[in-house]
């Protein structure tokens, strides 16, 4: 019994420590800190949770193609160029989405000077190919197009993803001279002075087409091709909307949402304790651990948190409670059959495991699809939902069971404490003593 008490105390202390780190962060040295959700870059110098446009306000910029009927490929290229430029400016929390057939909408949370950002983003893309000594050998004006392809890049090799580059007549001779002088050396491809690729020259290239091969996936090959195409867009971009917006949900939206979520969690805990008693109390402790782990992940992954993102977290809490309800009902069924508490807990978890895993796996798949195909707040919802569901499933399956095992080790066998009514526990008490 004493060993179980020591283990339970240690687990509770670890959970309390995780909750403290989740809220306030932890300094390991002057140069390394684990941020907490209460941190702000102004006070600690470390980025934590980034509030989205609906929670903190920022800037909205809309660009329109200065041509009629641009193709989807051209507009995707514009979006890719904007994403690259935003990353180069350190605005990684910004979102870029297409609007209609010829517009791109950019939302930049916390940006106080939308005019300066618009001027930078709206400038003509500067694509340059330089040799190892920094000499410019090609520019975007010499490139006809670039496309992501899949196939063989050599007679001896297998099929792989690569980028096919087609040069204009003005670029063929330039590239021929440059590749002849740089065999075995890299030709660096730069966009606005940011390196986007640095392929090594294997031989002199004298044709208008060439390939860039390497450890590409279909996604990275498409991204590189889009970046190269953005350096020679056939049209300009007109700025059609520029505005600074306040938090669309109010300045206190985040605090209000978190407070509402906290009230909901406390009510859920009370419900679990009232219905399942001791297992419900232990599930509440596991729920605190879940919130601490999710908080640490959100703070350290610099999640761009929007109101839909908060909804994803709260929904995953519901999934955690649902898993516990399934498990505890199975345990109660086993106890009513006359099994000992230890056997009932083992059987209850084993019987409930497939249902818990199946329900969570389907939600995980949906969250991944939202992250993959969604943009902006939709992708944010998918991200927080995925994090929350994975953590909640693990806490319900492993941590709650570990806590229950410590209670069993403390020889707590009163069936009423496990949610069985006294009338039923009297009739079955002989089998569970």
pLDDT digits (tens, 9 = 90+) for 34-81: 888 777 655 555 566 767 777 777 888 888 888 888 888 888 878 877
pLDDT at 159: 83
Cα dist from 430 to 161, 335, 394, 426, 433, whole Å: 69, 12, 35, 8, 6
Strand extents, DSSP E, 124-218: 127-130, 136-139, 143-152, 159-167, 188-191, 194-197, 209-212
Q: Which of 264-273, 335-344, 396-405, 422-431 has the lowest mean pLDDT?
A: 422-431
pLDDT at 381: 86
pLDDT at 248: 57
Of the two residues 129 and 50, the one the predictor is more confident about is: 129
pLDDT at 94: 78
With beta carbons less than 8 A apart as the criterion, state whether 404 and 345 touch. Answer: yes
Residues of the chain with pLDDT > 70, as a percent, come to 84
Q: Which CATH architecture has domain 2-41+250-432?
A: Up-down Bundle (1.20)
Q: What is the DSSP letter of 301?
A: T
Rounded average pLDDT over 258-264: 76
- Among 61, 42, 53, 71, smallest CA distance to 145 is for 71
* In the predicted structure, residue 427 carries a pLDDT above the cut 50: no
* In the predicted structure, residue 13 carries a pLDDT above the cut 90: yes
Q: How far apart are CA 28 and CA 48, in angstroms?
A: 16
Q: Map out the domains of the chain as residue ranges.
A: 2-41+250-432, 58-245
pLDDT at 426: 47
**DSSP character string of 211-248:** EE-SS--HHHHHHHHHHHHHTT-SS-EEEEEEEEE--T
Query: 58-245 maps to which CATH number?
Result: 3.30.70.3400
Mean pLDDT taken over the chain: 81
Highest mean pLDDT among 72-81, 171-180, 323-332, 349-358: 171-180
Q: How far apart are CA 314 and CA 291, in angstroms?
A: 10
Tokens 């920094």 — which residue?
Answer: 134
Rounded average pLDDT over 409-420: 81
Q: Which of 150-164, 322-336, 417-431 has the lowest mean pLDDT?
A: 417-431
If one counts every other C-beta atom within 10 angstroms of the C-beta of residue 222, the result is: 17
pLDDT at 253: 63
pLDDT digits (tens, 9 = 90+) for 215-246: 888 878 887 887 787 676 657 788 888 887 77
pLDDT at 188: 92
Residues of the chain with pLDDT > 90, as a percent, come to 12
Rounded average pLDDT over 407-431: 68
pLDDT at 48: 65
With beta carbons less than 8 A apart as the criterion, state whether 140 and 127 touch. Answer: yes
pLDDT at 123: 59
CA dihedral of 104, 108, 112, 114, whole degrees rounded to 10 = -10
Q: How far apart are CA 325 and CA 318, in angstroms?
A: 10
């Amino acid at each position: 019994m004493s060993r179980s008490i020591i283990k339970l105390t240690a687990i509770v202390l670890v959970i309390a420590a995780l909750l403290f780190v989740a809220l306030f962060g932890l300094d390991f040295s002057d140069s390394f800190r684990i941020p907490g959700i209460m941190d702000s870059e102004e006070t600690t110098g470390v980025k934590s949770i980034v509030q989205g446009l609906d929670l903190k306000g920022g800037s909205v910029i809309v660009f329109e193609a200065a041509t009629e009927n641009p193709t989807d490929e051209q507009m995707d290229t514009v979006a890719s160029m904007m994403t690259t430029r935003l990353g180069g400016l350190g605005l990684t929390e910004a979102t870029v989405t297409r609007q209609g057939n010829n517009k791109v909408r950019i939302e930049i949370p916390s940006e106080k000077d939308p005019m300066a950002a618009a001027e930078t983003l709206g400038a003509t893309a500067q694509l340059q190919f330089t040799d190892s000594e920094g000499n410019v050998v090609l520019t975007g004006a010499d490139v006809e197009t670039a496309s992501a392809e899949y196939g063989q890049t050599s007679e001896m090799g297998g099929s792989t993803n690569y980028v096919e580059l087609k040069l204009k007549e003005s670029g063929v001779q330039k590239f021929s001279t440059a590749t002849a002088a740089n065999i075995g050396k890299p030709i660096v491809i730069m966009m606005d002075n940011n390196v986007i690729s640095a392929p090594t020259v294997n031989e002199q290239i004298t044709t208008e087409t060439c390939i860039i091969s390497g450890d590409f996936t279909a996604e990275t090959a498409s991204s590189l091709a889009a970046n190269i195409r953005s350096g020679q867009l056939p049209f300009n971009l007109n700025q059609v909307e520029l505005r600074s917006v306040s938090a669309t949900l109010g300045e206190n939206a985040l605090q209000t949402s978190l407070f509402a979520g906290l009230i909901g969690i406390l009510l859920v805990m009370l419900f679990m304790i009232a219905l399942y008693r001791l297992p419900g109390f232990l599930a509440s402790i596991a729920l605190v651990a879940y919130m601490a782990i999710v908080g640490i992940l959100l703070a350290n992954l610099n999640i761009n948190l929007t109101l839909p993102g908060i909804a994803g977290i709260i929904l995953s809490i519901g999934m955690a409670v649902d898993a516990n309800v399934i498990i505890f009902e199975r345990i109660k069924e086993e106890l009513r059959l006359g099994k000992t508490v230890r056997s009932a807990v083992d059987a209850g978890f084993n019987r409930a495991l497939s249902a818990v895993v199946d329900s969570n796996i389907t939600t995980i798949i949906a969250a991944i699809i939202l992250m993959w195909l969604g943009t902006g707040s939709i992708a944010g919802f998918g991200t927080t939902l995925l994090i929350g569901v994975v953590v909640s499933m693990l806490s319900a399956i492993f941590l709650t069971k570990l806590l229950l095992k410590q209670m069993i080790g403390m020889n707590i066998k009163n069936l009423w404490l496990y949610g069985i009514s006294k009338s039923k526990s009297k009739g079955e008490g002989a089998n569970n003593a």
